[in-house]
Amino acid sequence: MRRELLVIHFVLSLLITCEAQTTSIVDKVDRWYWYSREMRETMMSESERREVIQELRRRLPLGDQTDQGRYRYLLLRLSDEQTMVEVMAEIRSEDQSRQDNAWATLANVNTPLLIPHVAEFLHATEEARMWSSPGSDVIRYTRSLAAAEKIQDILLSFSGFSQDVRQWVGSVDRVDAEAFRATMRKWWEQNKEAFARKDYAAVKPLQPVALPAPSIAPKQTSQPSVSPAKIEAPAKPPLASAPAAQSKSSSVPFPLLIGIGAVALVAIVAVLIWQGRRQKAE
Q: Is the pLDDT confidence value at 191 over 80?
A: yes
Q: Is the alpha carbon torsion for 63, 65, 68, 69 positive or negative? A: negative
Average pLDDT over residues 20-35: 57
With beta carbons less than 8 A apart as the criterion, state whether 172 and 180 touch.
Answer: yes
pLDDT score recorded for residue 20: 41
Other C-beta atoms within 10 Å of 213: how many?
6
pLDDT score recorded for residue 18: 44
Q: Provide DSSP, 176-229.
A: SHHHHHHHHHHHHHHHHHHHHTT-GGG--PPPPPPPPPPP-PPPPPPPPP--GG
Q: Which residues pair with 140 in a beta bridge?
A: 131
Q: Is the pLDDT confidence value at 10 over 70?
A: no
Measured between alpha carbons, how far is 64 from 58 in angstroms, rounded to an integer?
A: 13
Helix (H) or strand (E) holding 272, with range, is helix 254-281
pLDDT score recorded for residue 49: 84
Q: Is the pLDDT confidence value at 183 over 60?
A: yes
Average pLDDT over residues 153-160: 93
| Strand, helix or coil for residue 253 | coil
With beta carbons less than 8 A apart as the criterion, state whether 140 and 100 touch.
Answer: yes
Q: CB within 8 A of 73, min separation 6: which ones? A: 36, 105, 108, 109
Measured between alpha carbons, how far is 236 from 232 in angstroms, rounded to an integer?
A: 11
Average pLDDT, rounded, for the chain: 76
Average pLDDT over residues 9-29: 51
pLDDT score recorded for residue 112: 94
Measured between alpha carbons, how far is 41 from 178 in angstroms, rounded to an integer?
A: 35
Q: Is the pLDDT confidence value at 29 over 90?
A: no
Domain ranges of the chain: 13-105, 110-208
Q: Which residues pair with 141 in a beta bridge?
A: 130
Q: Is the alpha carbon torsion for 159, 165, 166, 169 positive or negative? A: negative
DSSP code of residue 129: -
| Strand, helix or coil for residue 136 | coil
Give the model's confidence band at 163: pLDDT under 50 very low, under 70 low, under 90 confident, else very high: very high
Most confident of 76-80, 167-171, 221-225, 240-244: 167-171
DSSP code of residue 240: P
Q: Is the pLDDT confidence value at 21 over 50?
A: no
Q: Which residues pair with 54 in a beta bridge?
A: none
Average pLDDT over residues 25-31: 64
